[in-house]
């Protein structure tokens, strides 16, 4: 009877395998040590340029920091109107240029306002922003190509203002408003970017006296991307190799593959897709859809992982199968929660990031309908996630209940079989524990990285970034986890060792029942559990 490698592997070999996997895991954490923090930012102060010809509709008229006429501050604007003033931001600062390794660019604007006596204040300020984005590249001799239009949009945003600071209405005091997310670029193909922002007067009546304007741009750190891509480059062929080995092993069996084997295979495939170092292409091609692509890749992988857990628990529960060959249909109720959650997230993602392909200034959250739509998708996804976890917990609970019932039967078995089955139960429990540990580590590292963020440095003396160590560690952990699953749950070629002591009635008890189609179960634990439940 074919079993899985997990059951037939000797304790020594198993510990060697686990040791190798743990070494990989440790290496992933160590790799994180050399990486800088995942993302970095730059504060870019606005240059206030004067546009003497605001009605010129030429799309290729750009104001740079060296504009002909600029204002030192916005306190002295006699003779000017709102349409004359252009906020100019050039990215990046300091004579450096963006690298394609930096992956993406997220921009947020902050308007610093000053209270003027007699002015009515509203807690929410509606803004209408005319934003234009241009790019330039570095030529071989170090000069810049002329600015070329990238996008132009008229967008609405809103700011939430904290009016407590000026409760006693002091003239000339600044008050605090939230920053405004302005744009998001899916890749950083060009070297320099230029943003020209205008605030048309008629639509911005709620805006107070603007004193200063700052742009914050966030980009991924090139070092972090490099570390991640190197990890992917190493893992991709490894996973692919394990996958091929696993599939060959399943394929040479005479039986048709079992459901769990299909699930493992597809999980491995999604992992391989996730590991595929697509980022190399973004170094040579303009791929603004990188963000969507990586979102979808991750989403598919998580969906597959969640489905795998469900099926894994279900396949080990085996109460009343009636010998039916297990298939995905049985799990439609459970899997539909994942499908609904993932689909709603996908639609949400496409609504936001999909439109951003055309207009990087687009945000679904600015219009009320958009906000409702986005929120409903997110809530739907959250609900289905809750449903899923309820299902999963119930199933895992059932499995453990089953196992503990069967355990009580164990003493009545012959010595060898008992030890054997106890070993299987132990290893199954061990794998459940590994899954739980992985999930817990993921959750804890997520929380830790949230806490560590902003603090930036864990300790002044330690020169590494906690969030990147956690990121690479967790990423490596799921790779190691799935590789381990693929290896341990591959069908074994070994036959059951003949059981010399089990010559009495128990032999019959544990021989296969005719109602079962032989190949449907992959693990002897499952067959054991099935039989016991049928008894």
Partner 1 sequence: MQVTVFCVILLTVLSHYTLGDELTNRAKNRGKGSMWWGVAKAGEPNNLSPLSPGTFYSGSSVHTTLRKKQKRIARENPGLLDAISKGANIAIQECQHQFRNEWWNCTTKQFLRGKNLFGKIVDRGCRETAFIYAITSAAVTHAIARACSDGAIETCNCESHYKNRPQVIGNGNSVGAVRDFEWGGCSDNIGFGFAVSREFVDTGERGKSLREKMNLHNNEAGRWHVQSQMKKECKCHGMSGSCTVKTCWMRLPPFRVIGDLLKDRFDGASHITSSNSGIHNSNKAHSNRLPKHSKSNSLMTNSIHAKRENRRKHKYGFQLKPLNPEHKPPGSKDLVYYEMSPGFCEKNPKLGIPGTYGRQCNETSIGVDGCAIMCCGRGSIPQEVIVKGRCNCTFHWCCEVKCDICKTKKIIHTCA
Based on CB atoms, which residue is closest to partner 1, 6 or 39?
39
- For residue 231, whether the previous peptide bond is cis, meaning omega lies within 30 degrees of 0, is no
Task: Please report how close the Cβ of residue 311 comes to partner 1 at its closest, in angstroms.
Answer: 24
Q: How far is the CB of 122 from partner 1 (least distance, A)?
A: 13
Contacts of partner 1 in 436-455 (CB under 8 A):
446, 449-450, 453-455
**Can you say whether the dihedral through the CA atoms of 384, 390, 391, 396 is positive or negative?**
positive
The alpha helices in 197-289, defined as continuous H runs, are 222-251, 259-275, 279-282
User: Is the Cβ of residue 402 or residue 442 nearer to partner 1 in the bound state?
Assistant: 442
User: Of residues 316-375, which lie at the interface with partner 1 (CB under 8 A)?
Assistant: 345, 348-349, 352-353
What is d(CA 19, CA 464) in angstroms, rounded to the nearest whole number?
26
Residue in the block written with tokens 């958009």? 370
- Given 3-state DSSP classes, what are the helix, strand and coil percentages for the chain, each rounded to the nearest 5? 50, 15, 30
> Which of 13, 26, 45, 320 touches partner 1 by CB under 8 A?
45
CB of 298 to partner 1, least distance (A): 5
DSSP-derived secondary structure letter, 146? P
**Between residues 293 and 416, which has the closer beta carbon with respect to partner 1?**
293
Report in angstroms how near the CB of residue 267 gets to partner 1 at its nearest: 19
CA distance 530 to 411: 18
Interaction between residue 476 and partner 1 (CB under 8 A): no
Q: Does 222 bind partner 1 (CB under 8 A)?
A: yes
Residues 486-525 that bind partner 1 (CB under 8 A): none
Query: Which residues 243-262 are close enough to bind partner 1 by CB under 8 A?
Result: none
What is the 8-class DSSP label of residue 35?
A: S
Residue 68 as a binder of partner 1 (CB under 8 A): the answer is no
Q: Select 80 or 409, whichever has its Cβ closest to partner 1.
A: 80
Question: Among residues 181, 216, 204, 198, which one has the least CA distance to residue 360?
Answer: 181
370: tokens are 């958009």
Measured CA to CA, the distance from residue 156 to residue 128 in angstroms comes to 5
Nearest distance in Å: CB 69, partner 1 = 11
283 binds partner 1 (CB under 8 A): no
Query: How many angstroms separate the CA atoms of 206 and 202, rounded?
Result: 10
The H or E element containing residue 91 is strand 85-91
Least distance in angstroms from the C-beta of 53 to partner 1: 17
| Binding map of partner 1 across residues 151-180, x = CB under 8 A, - = no contact | ---------------------xxx-x--x-
- Do 51 and 83 form a contact (C-beta atoms < 8 A)? yes
CB of residue 250 to partner 1, shortest distance in Å: 32
Closer of 65 and 406 to partner 1 (Cβ): 65
- Per-residue x/- track, 71-110, partner 1 (CB under 8 A): -x-x--xx-xxx-xx----x-xxxxxx-x-xx-x-x-x-x
Nearest approach, Cβ of 178 to partner 1 (angstroms)?
A: 9
Measure Cα distances from 145 to 60, 95, 192, 286 in Å. Answer: 13, 15, 10, 17
Provide the pairing of β-strand 180-185 with 105-114: antiparallel
Using the contact rule CB under 8 A, the part of the chain among 30-38, 245-253, 328-336, 387-395 near partner 1 is 30-38
The Cα–Cα gap between 106 and 467 comes to 19
Q: Reduced to 3 states, what is the DSSP secondary structure of residue 154?
A: strand
Binding to partner 1 (CB under 8 A): which residues in 107-146? 108, 110, 112, 116, 118-119
- 23 binds partner 1, rule: CB under 8 A: no
- Site size toward partner 1 (CB under 8 A) is 85
Burial of 196 (0-12, 13-18, 19+ CB in 10 A): buried
Q: Distance between terminal CA atoms of the chain?
A: 21
Q: Provide the minimum distance between the beta carbon of 205 and partner 1 in the complex, in angstroms, as a whole number.
A: 7
3-state class of 199 per DSSP? Answer: coil
Query: Minimum distance between the CB of residue 128 and partner 1, rounded to whole angstroms?
Result: 11
Q: Which of 32, 186, 268, 299 binds partner 1 (CB under 8 A)?
A: 299
Rounded Cα distance between 304 and 310, Å, is 10
* 208 lies in the site for partner 1, by CB under 8 A: yes
- Residue 270: CA count within 13 A, CB half-sphere: 22
Nearer to partner 1, 182 or 259 (CB): 182
Query: Is residue 211 at the binding interface for partner 1, with CB under 8 A as the rule?
Result: yes
Which of 226, 235, 198, 327 is closest to 282 using CA atoms? 226
Least distance in angstroms from the C-beta of 224 to partner 1 = 8
- Region of 18-26, 40-48, 257-265, 501-509 interacting with partner 1 (CB under 8 A): 40-48
Output 88 or 434, the one with its CB closest to partner 1. Answer: 88
Ramachandran bin of 524, using left for φ above 0, alpha for ψ from -120 to 50, beta for the remaining angles: alpha
Strand runs labelled E in 313-445:
none
Least Å distance, CB 183 to partner 1, is 12
Of 152 and 226, which has the nearer Cβ to partner 1? 226
């Amino acid at each position: 009877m074919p079993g899985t490698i997990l059951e037939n592997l000797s304790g020594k070999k198993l510990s060697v395998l686990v040791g190798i996997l743990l070494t990989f895991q440790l290496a992933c954490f160590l790799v994180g040590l050399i990486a800088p923090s995942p993302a970095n930012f730059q504060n870019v102060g606005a240059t206030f340029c004067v546009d003497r010809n605001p009605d010129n509709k030429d799309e290729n008229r750009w104001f740079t920091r060296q504009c002909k006429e600029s204002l030192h501050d916005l306190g002295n604007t006699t003779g000017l109107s709102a349409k004359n003033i252009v906020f100019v931001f050039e990215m990046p600062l300091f004579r450096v240029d963006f690298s394609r390794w930096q992956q993406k660019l997220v921009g947020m604007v902050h308007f610093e306002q000053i209270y003027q006596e007699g002015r009515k204040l509203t807690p929410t300020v509606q803004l209408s922003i005319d934003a234009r984005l241009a790019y330039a590249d570095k030529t071989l001799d170090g000069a810049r190509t002329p600015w070329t239009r990238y996008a132009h949009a008229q967008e609405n945003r809103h700011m939430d203002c904290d009016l407590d600071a000026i409760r006693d209405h002091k003239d000339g005091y600044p008050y605090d408003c939230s920053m405004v997310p302005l744009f998001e670029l899916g890749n950083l193909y060009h070297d320099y970017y230029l943003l020209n922002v205008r605030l048309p007067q008629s639509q911005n009546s709620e805006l107070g006296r603007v004193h200063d304007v700052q742009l914050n741009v966030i980009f991924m750190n090139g070092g972090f991307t490099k570390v991640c891509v190197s990890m992917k480059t190493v893992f991709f062929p490894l996973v692919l190799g394990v996958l091929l080995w696993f599939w060959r092993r399943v394929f040479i069996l005479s039986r048709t593959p079992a459901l769990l084997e299909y699930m493992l295979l597809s999980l491995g495939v999604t992992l391989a897709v996730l590991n595929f170092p697509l980022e190399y292409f973004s170094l040579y091609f303009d791929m603004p859809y990188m963000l969507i692509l990586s979102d979808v890749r991750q989403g598919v992988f998580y969906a597959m992982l969640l489905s795998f857990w469900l099926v894994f628990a279900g396949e080990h529960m085996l109460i009343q199968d009636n010998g039916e060959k297990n298939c995905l249909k049985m799990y439609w109720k459970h899997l539909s929660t994942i499908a609904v959650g993932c689909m709603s997230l996908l639609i949400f993602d496409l609504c936001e990031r999909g439109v951003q392909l055309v207009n990087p200034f687009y945000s679904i959250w600015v219009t009320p309908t958009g906000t409702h739509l986005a929120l409903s998708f997110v809530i739907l996804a959250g609900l289905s996630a809750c449903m899923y976890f309820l299902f999963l917990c119930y199933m895992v609970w059932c499995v453990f209940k089953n196992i503990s019932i069967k355990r009580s039967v164990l003493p009545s078995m012959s010595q060898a079989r008992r030890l054997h089955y106890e070993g299987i139960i132990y290893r199954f429990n061990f794998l459940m524990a590994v899954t739980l540990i992985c999930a817990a580590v993921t959750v804890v590292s997520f929380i830790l990285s949230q806490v560590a963020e902003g603090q930036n440095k864990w300790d002044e003396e330690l020169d590494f970034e906690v969030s990147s160590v956690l990121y690479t560690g967790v990423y490596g952990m799921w790779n190691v986890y799935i590789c381990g699953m693929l290896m341990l749950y591959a069908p074994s070629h070994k036959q059951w060792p003949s059981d010399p002591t089990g010559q009495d009635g128990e032999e019959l008890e544990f021989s296969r029942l005719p109602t079962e189609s032989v190949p449907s179960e992959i693990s002897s634990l499952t067959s054991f559990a099935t039989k016991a439940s049928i008894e």
